[in-house]
Each structure stands twice: as structure tokens, then as C-alpha cells.
Amino acid sequence: MTQSVERIVRDFENRGLSSNGMFVLLGVGASEAEIVRVIDRSLQDDRPSSWPTAAFGATLYGNDRLMPRLIAIAETIGEPARIQAVHAIANNRTDEGVATLKRLLDDPDPELHRHTVEAIRAAYARPRAPQSLYMRPRGRFLLDTDFPDLRR
């Protein structure tokens, strides 16, 4: 890895992800491990301005260590990164994530319900072949039994 990539990764770890941060990391050739590290740091409590971009990144780079923060963000009423966190949870299946999605489906907010349904359907519809897309999500797939009524 070049010093410039190391410097960019370190800068994002220190300051959090900017709105185009994921594309910068991908463009300079940061490794998956480096990207997950930056996402993890950017999802922390002291980086709320980075949460939307970090949650988007977590949609692409599913990692279990990100799930507790994604769940906390998804369950926060009025949080701008909430819907992106829901998508990230749907794209990296964990038991806790499925339980969270089920709670969100039962939420009385019709907008949240709609977004949660869309996230689950999109997760079920994502291509399963590794070579299918350049920026395909890398997390575990939802099980057919998780949300049988939402499979297309």
C-alpha cells in the first residue's frame, strides 16, 4: 500500500467519512479491511455527520462488528442516517439484525415501514453471483425464512 493511501485512510479514521468518502477510498484502492475500519470509526457516537456515508459503506461492506451501531442508528427516531442503516442491516444478515428489521416493520410510522420493506426486498433481490456487480454488497444474505412474505 502506498503512503498516500495510508494517509487518506488515516485521515478518514481521524475525521470520519465525508459525503464522497467511500468513493475516494474505493478510488485510491483502499483494502476491504481498511474500508471497514474507517466505516467502523465513522459510525461511532462522536461522528454523527459521518453516519449517512458510513451506513452507505456498511451496506456494501457488511461486517458483524458494525451491526450494533447500525442497529442503534436504525432505531433512532429522526436520525437522517436511519434508512441507510436499515439497508445495511438487511444486507448483512445477523439474528439481531433480523429482529431489528421485524421491530421496524411493526413501527407505526408508515414511512419507516415502507423503507424497511424496500430494504428487505432489495436485499433479497441483490445478485448472488460474486462477479455480478462491481459494487455489490458483501454481507450475508437474508434467509428465505426471515421474511417469506417480502421475497419477490
Global pTM?
0.92
The cell for 106 is 411493526
pLDDT digits (tens, 9 = 90+) for 46-74: 999 999 999 999 999 999 999 999 999 99
Across 133-143, average pLDDT: 75
Q: Check residue 100 and give left, alpha or beta (phi > 0: left; psi -120 to 50: alpha).
A: alpha
Angle between helix 3-15 and 21-28 (nearest 10) = 160
Looking at residues 125-133, what average pLDDT do you find? 66
CA-closest candidate to residue 22, choices 35, 11, 32 = 35
- Rounded to 10 deg, the angle between the 32-42 and 21-28 helix axes is 160
% of the chain at pLDDT higher than 90: 85
